Amino acid sequence: MRIFANANYNFIRWRWHALIGSIVLIWGGVAWIYTHGGLKYGIDFTGGTAITLQFAQPTSEDVVRKAVDPISHEAVVQTIGERSKNQIMVRLPVMAEQEQGTNLDAQARAVEQAIKAANLQATVRETVAVGPVVGKELQRKGIYTTVTALGGILLYVWFRFRLTFAIGAIVAAFHDILITLVFLALFGYDMTLNIIAALLTITGYSVNDTIVVFDRVRENERQMRREPLDQVVNKSVNQTLGRTIITSGATFVAVLALYLFGGEVLRGFAFTMLVGVLTGTYSTVFIAAAIAIILSRRRTAGPATAQQPARPQARPRR
């Protein structure tokens, strides 16, 4: 069964509207992140201890926060999973004495003792401890990995197609990453190794969809040599629309199931993938293609103007 077999939508007509809308969304999100203290990093990057507590009775976050406040005023207390499960996670930052080598597990024991002192019945389900040196190393490697992946994508698309298409694909990838980071900050997700893995995944997913469209553009250019590039790109997008809808829809449903039933550990990864699938499909049509058209027109207009032959001057009649 084929869907959108004879699609003929004028997507390229709305490229400027899409570009302006994306710029407004990104800069508005960046301003919101800046005014709210920047991106929040998990203990994977900052170091610290995260203790997951299983309570025998329903317990509010305020009660737990009051109990652990003597340990650290910067402790983050949040309910994980459904409230009926009575699970609360306590995250503590790295203390000054821990930077000198004190065992991070001491924080977990201190939290457990504070909970018992507050007459709360709870058992420790999981403890995750990361030192500050390891956290900084993971943060640096996460940045290097992302930059290396984007550089490899740029070289691959440049080699296979042309430089303007490669720039369009990279701009679309940056667009997807920035919008996803904005939504992660708006919904209160911390940057963790799972989030970095999801960002790299959606980058590859978005570029793969973009390459499919660009490959069809290259084929159509041979048959539509006299047509402008925007018409060639628009026809190529319509020809691959059915494939894009089916692929993106199937991926979205699978990731949605992971988000709903995968548990708290995978929720950040699944949320990042949900946003990335939507932005990746959007950016392939309205960002990558639009940037490629704009740069191709400027590139061809410049040499054409420079190489225009001068008109011969008419000889005066004698």
Same-domain check for residues 253 and 171: yes
Average pLDDT (196-205) is: 84
pLDDT-derived band of residue 168, with 50, 70 and 90 as boundaries?
confident
Q: How far is CA 306 from CA 188, 302, 310, in A?
A: 53, 6, 10
Average pLDDT over residues 41-67: 80
Highest-confidence segment of 66-75, 141-150, 237-246: 237-246
Q: What's the average model confidence in pLDDT over 58-67?
A: 84
Domain annotation covers residue 270: yes
Residues 17 and 146 in one domain: yes
Q: 150: which 2 tokens? A: 């984007």
Residues 86 and 158 reside in one and the same domain: no
Query: How far is residue 275's CA from residue 187's CA, in Å, rounded to a whole number?
Result: 12
Tell me the pLDDT band of 100, cut-offs 50, 70 and 90: very low
Whether residues 126 and 139 share a domain: the answer is: no
User: Of 84, 113, 130, which residue constitutes the final position of a domain?
Assistant: 130
- Final residue before a domain boundary, out of 101, 130, 159: 130
Are 94 and 167 found together in one domain?
no
Q: What tens digit of pLDDT does each residue of 63-91 get?
A: 888 888 887 777 778 777 777 778 888 87
Sorted by sequence, the CB contacts under 8 Å of residue 203 that are 6+ apart come out as 146, 149, 150, 153, 173, 176, 177
pLDDT of residue 306: 42
| 7 found inside a domain | no
Residue scoring higher pLDDT (88 or 300): 88
Residue type for position 269: F
**Domain closes at, from 130, 151, 178:** 130
Q: What is the DSSP string of 123-164?
A: EEEEEEEE-HHHHHHHHHHHHHHHHHHHHHHHHHHHHHS-HH
Contacts of 92 (CB under 8 A, 6+ apart): 48, 49, 50, 51, 68, 71, 72, 74, 75, 107, 111
Does the pLDDT at position 311 exceed 50? Answer: no
Region for 10 from its dihedrals, namely left if φ exceeds 0, alpha if ψ lies in -120 to 50, beta otherwise: beta
Residues 6+ apart with CB under 8 A from 279: 175, 176, 179, 180, 202, 206
- Dist. CA 248–CA 283, nearest whole Å: 13
Is residue 201 over pLDDT 80? yes
**Phi, psi dihedrals of residue 307, rounded to the nearest 5°:** -95, 10
Least confident of 34-48, 106-120, 129-143, 257-271: 129-143
What's the whole-number average pLDDT of the chain? 78
- Considering the domain architecture, whether residues 146 and 240 belong to the same structural domain is answered as yes
- 33-58 mean pLDDT: 79
Residue 260 sits in the same domain as residue 141? yes
Kindly state the percentage of the chain with pLDDT values over 90. Answer: 6
Same structural domain, 159 and 125: no
Q: Return the pLDDT at 304.
A: 44
How is 29-91 classified by DSSP, letter by letter?
Answer: HHHHHHHTTSPPB-HHHH-EEEEEEEESS---HHHHHHHHTTT-TT-EEEE-S-GGG-EEEEE
Angstrom distance (rounded) from CA 220 to CA 214: 10
Tokens read off for 190: 């911390």
The two structure tokens encoding residue 125 = 């389900």
The verdict on 92 and 165 lying in the same domain is: no
In a domain, 241, yes or no: yes
58 within domain boundaries: yes
Confirm whether 84 is domain-assigned: yes
Check whether 11 has a pLDDT greater than 60: yes
Q: Is the pLDDT of residue 39 over 50?
A: yes
pLDDT over 60 (residue 53):
yes
**Domain count of the fold of the chain:** 2
Per-residue tokens: 136: 């900084």
Three-state SS across 248-293? HHHHHHHHHHHHHHCCHHHHHHHHHHHHHHHHHHHHHHHHHHHHHH
CATH number of the domain that residue 109 is part of: 3.30.70.3400
Note the pLDDT of residue 131: 65
Instruction: Give residue 214's domain range.
Output: 12-38+135-300
**Same domain as 141, residue 125:** no
- Residues 169 and 126 reside in one and the same domain: no
Arithmetic mean of pLDDT, 229-251? 83
Better pLDDT: 33 or 11 = 33
Q: Which two tokens stand for residue 235?
A: 């026809």
Does some domain include residue 156? yes
Residue entry with tokens 């994980």: 80
Alpha-carbon distance of 202 to 272, in angstroms, equals 8
Residue range 111-122: mean pLDDT, rounded: 83
Answer whether residue 161 is part of any domain.
yes
- The answer to whether 129 and 93 have CB atoms below 8 angstroms apart is no
Q: Is the pLDDT of residue 145 over 70?
A: yes
Q: What is the DSSP string of 104-130?
A: THHHHHHHHHHHHHTT--EEEEEEEEE
| 23-37, 40-54, 261-275, 304-318, range with the lowest pLDDT | 304-318
Is there a domain that residue 231 lies in? Answer: yes
Does residue 271 register a pLDDT over 90? yes
SS3 state of residue 92: strand
212: domain CATH number?
1.20.1640.10
Please tell me the least confidently modeled range out of 74-83, 101-110, 151-160: 101-110
Same domain as 30, residue 52 = no
The residues pairing with 128 across neighbouring beta strands, listed in sequence order, are 50
